[in-house]
Amino acid sequence: MNDLLRGAAQAVQLLFSGDRELYAIILRTLSISLSATLVAMLIGVPLGYGLARGRFPGRTLLLGAVNTGMGIPPVVVGLMVWLLLTRSGPLGGLGLIYTKQAMLLAQVVIATPLVIGFTAASIQALPPQLPDLLTSLGAGRLRRLWILSGEARLGFLAAIMAAFGAIVSEVGASMAVGGNLRGSTRVLTTAIVTETGRGNVPVALALGMMLLALSFMVNLVLTVVQQRRRS
Amino acid sequence: MEILVEGLRFARDRRPVLDIPALRIASGGVTAIFGPNGSGKTTLLRLIAGLERADAGTIRIGPALVEPGPAAARAAAIAFQEPVFLRGTVRRNLDLAMRLRNVGHDERAERVAEVARECGIEVVLDRSAWKLSGGEARRAGLARVLALRAPVTLLDEPLAGIDRVARTHLLDDLPRLLARFATTTVLVTHDREEAFRLADDLVILTGGTIRAAGPKAPLYASPPDVDTAELLGYTVLFPPGGPVAVPPGGLRLGEGEVGFDLAVERTIDMGNHLHLLGTIAGRRADLRLPSGSAPPMAGTIVRVFAASRVALPR
């Protein structure tokens, strides 16, 4: 308990110490994970919609795969992306290994199944006759999609929160493909691992609390949006 | 507008659902598509609404061919059996439906006010459409389709799934509402009372084919076949002279011109009369006895006769 209190005190102290490196880490963490969330939404929402509304062979299999993907360990994703991007790997020529782009890619891979899963679930939760109703009223394909998305927006916000929450807190993939390079790919989670390894437990704890606070702030904004739209 | 169906065939998963060589639904009245569950009634309605694609044949509303898919200028508007709403208030749902049909802003507000007043949903207009009771949801769904004032209004089981009191009230109100807001109405029902109380014309559908169609009175007076007669509520019996259709209450205890042996199964005291249930040559039959009369014992055989009856073609 004492350690926790000391960690909290140190977190506040660190935050206002004007430590440029710390600010850079926080900004980097936010920009990578928010970008990855955005990309995952762009990929995952249409796929989730198609999976929810489509009727094609292999659909159940695909849904099963997505549901598995929602729980995939980040370190496994990290390993796969590392094998892909490493110098001798199939995409090694791109020179992306140990860059922010590599971390972004890995986080997109982690977040996309979550977005697909949440989107599919929220679309499927809509009354099944809704598309027919809109068609009969004369709504074209795009209009229908727009209105249905509006109906499912609580689910979309849940998807954003789940995706962002998962990738901002993961450490395995960021470590594997980012390399935790000081000043370029170190993010909050990998910094915590580093500080803990060095025996700097109070600093690690302080960083952990910052991560929590960051995650809380982003989720709070989304929750406010979600609950306001609801009423 | 008149609806003309020609050579219509529709199958689902290779199982034939509808086969209608020709059907004409007159303009300006209320037509009930009447038949048992699974007879293809809803499918026919969805085809007219342009929500399904026929395997063969055409449907015309007025001069225009019904093409599946969305069309803002569509002649038909449909209310599904389960009223389904978007998030938000009843008012928003009514408004959005008209907006999708390109009704102007001011007119939408006027129509909402009018239809809500007539349908008795003014008090729930600003309530969430997802929090309505069964009866309120029915009326709100009805108000939404009526507000569109489409040339053809399609209602799928407009009274299904609501409690008895709400149903009675809505059944009373519907003819007035349809007369005011709808021009040509096609409704689907499996309920005889609804069909007779709401419709001018009946289309009798069993197993995906039309058994009879036309104004209800002549259809009821002389059913064209045994199945139709049974659907219309007759008890069909087979005395030596050929099949006869006996209307409800047409059987009497005693000897008469066309007599039968009724095997008594049980007697139910309905309060103001006794309801005698049994079989005649294996077919279900029933008759009413005055309250207080001594009913025949279950298991006995009594003589009954058809006091009123309609001869059916063999």
Q: What is the CATH number of the domain that holds B214?
A: 3.40.50.300
- Which chain A residues contact residue B86 at CB under 8 A? 130, 147, 150-151
Domain termination site, one of B159, B186, B221? B221
On whether both B192 and B279 belong to a single domain, the answer is no
- Measured distance CA(B189)–CA(B35) in Å, rounded: 7
**Are the C-beta atoms of residues B75 and B63 closer than 8 Å to each other?**
no
Domain termination site, one of B221, B244, B269? B221
Q: What is the pTM of this model?
A: 0.78
pLDDT score recorded for residue B154: 96
- Classify residue A189 by burial, with Cβ atoms within 10 Å: 0-12, 13-18, 19+: buried
- Measured distance CA(A55)–CA(B12) in Å, rounded: 15
Question: Is residue A229 predicted with pLDDT exceeding 70?
Answer: no
Q: What are chain A's domains? A: 2-230 (1.10.3720.10)
Interface touch B77/A136, C-beta < 8 Å: yes
pLDDT score recorded for residue B108: 95
Interface touch B70/A138, C-beta < 8 Å: yes
pLDDT score recorded for residue B72: 54
**Are the C-beta atoms of residues B44 and B18 closer than 8 Å to each other?**
yes
On whether both B117 and B150 belong to a single domain, the answer is yes
Phi, psi dihedral angles at B37 (to 5 degrees): -60, 140
Q: How confident is the model at residue A16 (pLDDT cuts 50, 70, 90)?
A: confident
Query: CB-based contact (8 Å) between A8 and chain B?
Result: no
**Residue B5 corresponds to which tokens in the numbers above?**
């169906």
Question: Is residue A1 predicted with pLDDT exceeding 70?
Answer: no
Counting one residue from A and one from B, how many pairs have CB atoms under 8 Å apart? Answer: 55
Residue B24's domain spans which residues? 3-221
pLDDT score recorded for residue B200: 95
**Are the C-beta atoms of residues B258 and B239 closer than 8 Å to each other?**
yes
Per-residue pLDDT of chain B (314 residues; tens, 9 = 90+): 899 999 999 999 889 999 999 999 999 999 999 998 889 999 999 999 999 999 999 999 988 888 887 775 678 999 999 889 998 999 999 999 999 998 999 999 999 999 999 999 999 999 998 889 888 999 999 999 999 999 999 999 999 888 899 999 999 999 999 999 998 999 999 988 899 999 999 999 999 999 999 999 999 998 988 888 988 889 898 888 888 899 888 888 888 888 888 899 988 888 888 888 999 988 888 888 887 778 788 888 888 888 888 888 87
On whether both B123 and B207 belong to a single domain, the answer is yes
How do B76-79 and B152-156 pair as beta strands?
parallel
Distance from A217 to chain B by nearest Cα, in Å? 28
First vs last C-alpha separation in chain B: 37
pLDDT score recorded for residue B1: 85
**Are the C-beta atoms of residues B4 and B24 closer than 8 Å to each other?**
yes
Domain termination site, one of B221, B253, B268? B221
Domain membership flag for residue B226: no
- Per DSSP, the three-state class of A91 is coil
On whether both B69 and B146 belong to a single domain, the answer is yes
- Classify residue A56 by burial, with Cβ atoms within 10 Å: 0-12, 13-18, 19+: exposed
Interface touch B70/A135, C-beta < 8 Å: yes
Tens of pLDDT, residue by residue over A137-194, are 888 888 888 898 888 888 899 999 999 999 999 999 999 998 899 989 999 999 999 9
pLDDT score recorded for residue A122: 92
On whether both B189 and B256 belong to a single domain, the answer is no
pLDDT score recorded for residue A177: 92
Query: CB-based contact (8 Å) between A12 and chain B?
Result: no
The total of other beta-carbon atoms located within 10 Å of residue B73's CB is 8
User: What are the residues facing B236 on neighbouring strands?
Assistant: B245
Distance from A136 to chain B by nearest Cα, in Å? 6
Domain membership flag for residue B229: no
Interface touch A138/B71, C-beta < 8 Å: yes
Query: Is the Cα dihedral A218, A223, A224, A225 positive or negative?
Result: positive
Nearest CA in chain B to A135: B70
On whether both B96 and B182 belong to a single domain, the answer is yes
ipTM of the complex: 0.81
Domain count, chain B: 2
Question: Is residue A231 predicted with pLDDT exceeding 60?
Answer: no
Q: How confident is the model at residue A21 (pLDDT cuts 50, 70, 90)?
A: confident
Query: CB-based contact (8 Å) between A127 and chain B?
Result: yes
Domain membership flag for residue B227: no
pLDDT score recorded for residue A18: 78
Average pLDDT over residues A121-133: 89
pLDDT score recorded for residue A85: 92
**Are the C-beta atoms of residues A97 and A122 closer than 8 Å to each other?**
no
Tens of pLDDT, residue by residue over A78-109, are 999 999 999 898 988 888 899 999 999 999 99
**Are the C-beta atoms of residues B174 and B185 closer than 8 Å to each other?**
no
Question: Is residue A230 predicted with pLDDT exceeding 60?
Answer: no
On whether both B238 and B153 belong to a single domain, the answer is no
On whether both B201 and B244 belong to a single domain, the answer is no
